[in-house]
Amino acid sequence: MIIGLTGGIASGKSTVSKYLAEKGFKVYDADKIAKDISEKKSVQEEIILTFGNKILDENGNIDRKKLKEIVFKNKEKLKQLNAIIHPKVIDFYKELKEKSTDEIIIFDVPLLFESGIDKICDKILVVISDYEIQLNRIVERDKIDRELASKIIKSQLSNEERIKKADVVIENNSSLEDLFEKVERFCERI
**Known binding site: residues?**
10-15
Q: Which strands make up the sheet holding 105-108, listed edge to edge?
A: 26-29, 105-108, 2-7, 123-128, 168-171
Radius of gyration in angstroms for the set of CA atoms belonging to the chain, rounded to a whole number: 17
Strand partners for 170: 127
Binding annotation for ATP:
10-15
Strand partners for 169: 126
Q: Of 121, 166, 186, which Cα lies nearest the Cα of 8? A: 166
Query: Taking a C-beta distance cutoff of 8 angstroms, is the pair 105, 17 a contact?
Result: no
